[in-house]
Structure 1
Amino acid sequence: MNALLEARDLHVEFSSRGRRARAVDGVNLTVGAGEIVALVGESGCGKTTLARTLLGLERPTSGSTLYGGVPLSYRAKALKAYRREVQLVLQDPTGSLNPRQTVYEAVAEGPRIHGLANEEEVVSEALARAGLRPPERFFLRYPHELSGGQRQRVVIAGALALNPKVLVADEPVASLDASVRGEILALLLRLRDELGLSALVVTHDLGLAWNIADRVAVMYLGRIVETGSVEEVLTKPQHPYTQALLSVLPESEERMVLSGEPPDPTRIPSGCRFHPRCQVLASGLAAEAGVADLCRSKPLSILPAATEAQAACHFAQVLQIGQTGEASRPT
């Protein structure tokens, strides 16, 4: 797979009351051409910070963002060109649209900044691609005159007006009614099929990932803890955190309730960063497998960017070794 957008050993830290919060703590992630990747995790896990860094809105403390294999430059001219290729779709269309701007003005803003010719034609085509037809009917409307789904389509049209290669969509359907969510997800899939668009979809909803993504990356406390194809991750989850996230879906037969809140990013736990909340460790299964001490004390390696299924979990690694017929306990 040719990586179009890539995070390579990405770290992002913020100062917080004299301490350093590791919002993104070593992430390798790729989005291939024509691929939709879902970045999944609880609120506060770092996924929005990662998305902002990939967009060039945050500078990494270390590591790099690459586009087309070339490290991102933070010079103003280079960023302007990059943001024409990689566009953001925000979660709340009501908040991201100026209530005093017409639909035409909202969609035309990007083309004007980038000096595109044939403005009206560009706006019309973008609105039509976003499913607002005939586009001229929407030119003079204001956001308050539109439904929630129509407003989100206007936001998507604003991104499409620049003919980007990648969309970074942050919770693109979280604020919409259930009846409208399917339409917006179907639109994103259609854009991928018709235009070859790639997308990184940031979400807390694994059900959404199942409906739209080719690959899934599960994030916890600043790191990717499990990744793989959507079928591998959502039908055979290896990491206890992924299993807990899946258990809240309506079709799940077993509900897993995680204790506590995600830990403070200024105080990353020793060993596996998930171990204070891990149901496998709490139940004694990790002790039976001989990895309980490792879970509490030995940090796991940062997962590489790869297409095959992988999980940063001592217990999952023991199970995998056992399935291959090798030694059932780590050395």
Structure 2
Amino acid sequence: MNDSPLLSAEGLHITFPGRRGAPEARAVDGVDLDIAPGEIVALVGESGCGKTTLARSLLGLVKPTEGAVSFDGSPLRYEGRALKAYRKRVQLVLQDPSGSLNPRHTVYEAVAEGLRIHGYAGDERAKVTEALSRAGLRPPERFFLRYPHELSGGQRQRVVIAGALVLDPELIVADEPVASLDASVRGEILALLLGLRAELGLSALVVTHDLGLAWNIADRVAVMYLGRIVETGSVEEVLTSPRHPYTQALLSVLPEAGGEPVVLAGEPPDPTRIPSGCRFHARCQVLASGEAERAGVADACRGEDLAVLGGTGATRVACHWATASGR
């Protein structure tokens, strides 16, 4: 795997105006993130933490308020022709295949749509056949004239993946790619994504709330909370030795965790009112238990902001307590 990033976000901020004079919502509040060629990165966090907004920005669908996105060493430009060329190289796979497939279009039309949008001049039928085959729908010709309602959930997700593959992208952004599927099918789709990485050298950003999924598919994990990445590193390091209390809480509810699950107090804060200090401190079990006080960092937790973590593969954590205790 090449260490030079294929996709890179630097100092990314995305804000949305508040309603009726309310403060603006800081959906993404300072993020650095790199994805290397052939690397699978899992972006993990609760609903509302900003991970989907960050993913949409990396796709060029949301222009950042501050910061920049680069692809293959060149800044992402938001003009029509440049953006169209970029979206051919970076493709989106959505969570709900039923919602992303037009019920009036056959499988062939759904997969060929991207080729037609981008003015492909070659053999359309051959490209659609190849994409369906790579997505595991074989023999592909059997599926050409079928409609989404005639397919299983797993087959529909494979059609969505084929629609992304038909343009020969270098990176796929998969937003909760198996969340709507039965447990028996989830493993098949994850195995497919891993196989595509091995066969085609595809990179992927997998957006998920499920740390178990991250463990099964990712090389690296970035844990996001309230608009910022709070812990990042190789999937083995982060998920076997989590340092941030938020990561520890997310992992504690997995069946294989073994111990008592950590129940976090309350809901994540409103992104229009991000708290001072560590943005997790109001829900932090380490602060609530007195451990942060004993480590001499309780005041810092409540009042001192933490630096934005670097986007590379190095293991990093944004936590006063973890840093002070040498965790």
Same fold by TM-score, threshold 0.5 exceeded? Answer: yes
Q: Match of 2:233?
A: 228
Q: CA deviation at 1:319?
A: 1.7
Q: What is the correspondence of 1:57-76 to structure 2 with a 5 Å cutoff?
A: 57-76=61-80
Q: Match of 2:48?
A: 44
Gaps of at least 5 residues in structure 2 are none
Q: Match of 1:5?
A: 7
> Are 2:197 and 1:192 equivalent residues in the alignment?
yes
Gaps of at least 5 residues in structure 1 are 324-331
Distance, in Å, in 2 between the alignment partners of 1:160 and 1:60 is 27
Larger deviation, residues 146-155 vs 304-313: 304-313
The SS at the match of 2:159 is helix
Residue type matched to 2:282 in 1? P
Q: What is the correspondence of 1:311-330 to structure 2 with a 5 Å cutoff?
A: 311-320=317-326
Distance, in Å, in 2 between the alignment partners of 1:156 and 1:319 is 44
Q: Match of 2:316?
A: 310
1:269 equivalent among 270, 275, 298: 275
Q: Match of 1:300?
A: 306
Residue type matched to 1:2 in 2? S
Distance, in Å, in 1 between the alignment partners of 2:302 and 2:184 is 44
Q: Which digits, 9 at most, give the CA deviation of each residue in 1:6-46, with x for residues without a partner? A: 11110000012222100000000011000000000000000
Q: What is the correspondence of 1:228-247 to structure 2 with a 5 Å cutoff?
A: 228-247=233-252
> Are 2:124 and 1:81 equivalent residues in the alignment?
no
> Are 2:24 and 1:25 equivalent residues in the alignment?
no
Q: Match of 2:115?
A: 111
Q: Match of 2:99?
A: 95
The SS at the match of 2:263 is coil
Distance, in Å, in 1 between the alignment partners of 2:188 and 2:18 is 40
In the superposition, the TM-score normalised over structure 2's length comes to 0.97
Equivalenced residues, count: 321
The SS at the match of 2:255 is coil
Distance, in Å, in 2 between the alignment partners of 1:139 and 1:16 is 46
Q: Which digits, 9 at most, give the CA deviation of each residue in 1:29-66, with x for residues without a partner? A: 01100000000000000000000000000000000111
Distance, in Å, in 2 between the alignment partners of 1:180 and 1:262 is 31
Q: Match of 2:185?
A: 180
* Superposed structure 1 runs of 4+ greater than 4 Å apart: none
Q: Match of 1:204?
A: 209
> Are 2:167 and 1:162 equivalent residues in the alignment?
yes
Q: CA deviation at 1:69?
A: 1.4
Distance, in Å, in 2 between the alignment partners of 1:236 and 1:309 is 11
> Are 2:176 and 1:171 equivalent residues in the alignment?
yes
Q: CA deviation at 1:306?
A: 2.3
Distance, in Å, in 2 between the alignment partners of 1:26 and 1:318 is 23
